[in-house]
Amino acid sequence: MATPDLRERLVENLSRIRGRMADAARRSGRDPADVVLVAVTKYVDAEQAAWLPGAGCCELGESRPQSLWTKAAAVADPGVHWHLIGHLQRNKIRRTLPWLSWIHSVDSRRLLDALQQEAEAAATRVRVLLEVNVAGESAKTGFTLADMLPLADQFDRWPRLRIEGLMAMAALEGDADAARRDFSQLRELRDAMQRHCPPHIQLQQLSMGMSGDYEVAIEEGATMVRVGSAVWEGLLT
């Protein structure tokens, strides 16, 4: 397909996804405006990622820090916000922070400490979600469920970080019902943590749901869905 047709396809995909997101929100009595679509760019190069703002999507997610640097430099649109959704090694924090609006994938205390230190040095703040391995899969990164309540008592240790919620992926092997259980567990964990944390911290965000399960995630309270394959459907060779 020629580039204009591919861009048209991207617009159609985004519109179809947003329609389904809105339906899922209404089904569960929520306002569609309360759920943000983060378009994941990991399947495409910087040139295609740069089509997103023109197609009406300014919340962009990338899982690899190095790819994020390249793509963020190529997408020179000031309205765009970048979300890191994959593991961040501590030696890449300094170079990654300036590009980021959000990190969804903060998965250890060591990373919280290192982010705090770098954000302090740069006199900046960063919006953070804590990644929880709700499905308890050994191959996944993230805090365990048992880590979380003790952590909520200590949020004041990281004053440069705006800890705004939780992120999770549903179990790899599982149907929609299993995904629903994982998502509702994340929501309940968030509610329990909110009761433990310092009052100035508001855990409003639940980043959960991908191409295969974003509607279920929204029904269970997702405020951000991270969608890749469905966004680029028909554009990948």
Ligand X SMILES: *Cc1c(COP(=O)(O)O)cnc(C)c1O
Positions in the binding site for ligand X (CB under 6 A): 40, 42, 63, 85-86, 210-212, 226-230
Chain residue whose CB lies nearest ligand X: 228
Shortest approach of ligand X to residue 157 CB, angstroms?
A: 26
Residue among 213 and 219 whose Cβ is closer to ligand X? 213
When the beta carbons of 142 and 221 are compared against ligand X, the nearer one is: 142
Smaller CB separation from ligand X, 67 or 117: 67
Give the list of residues 6+ apart from residue 167 with CB closer than 8 angstroms, or none. Answer: 85, 104, 105, 129, 130, 131, 132, 206, 207, 208
Nearer to ligand X among residue 7 and residue 42 (C-beta) = 42
Q: How far apart are CA 131 and CA 22, in angstroms?
A: 25
Determine what percent of the chain falls in helix, strand and coil, rounding each to the nearest 5: 45, 20, 40
Residue 203: both structure tokens together = 């855990």
User: 145-152 and 176-196 are packed helices; what angle lies between their axes, rounded to 10 degrees?
Assistant: 20
Distance in Å, CB of 216 to ligand X, minimum: 13
Query: Nearest to residue 107, comparing CAs of 73, 135, 144?
Result: 144
DSSP 8-state symbol, 109: H
CB of 164 to ligand X, least distance (A): 17
What is the C-alpha separation between 57 and 42, in angstroms, rounded?
15
Going by C-alpha positions, the residue among 218, 202, 133, 141 that lies closest to residue 171 is 133
What is the smallest separation between the CB atom of 212 and ligand X, expressed in angstroms? 6
Nearer to ligand X, 32 or 212 (CB): 212
Least separation in angstroms between CB 236 and ligand X: 11
Return the number of the residue (112 or 210) whose C-beta is nearest ligand X.
210
Tell me how far, at minimum, the Cβ of 187 lies from ligand X, in Å.
Answer: 18
Nearby residues of 169 by Cβ (< 8 Å), 6 or more positions away: 135, 140, 182, 208, 210
Closest distance of CB 228 from ligand X, Å: 3
By C-beta, is 85 or 93 nearer to ligand X? 85
Closest CA to 17 of 48, 44, 42, 38: 38
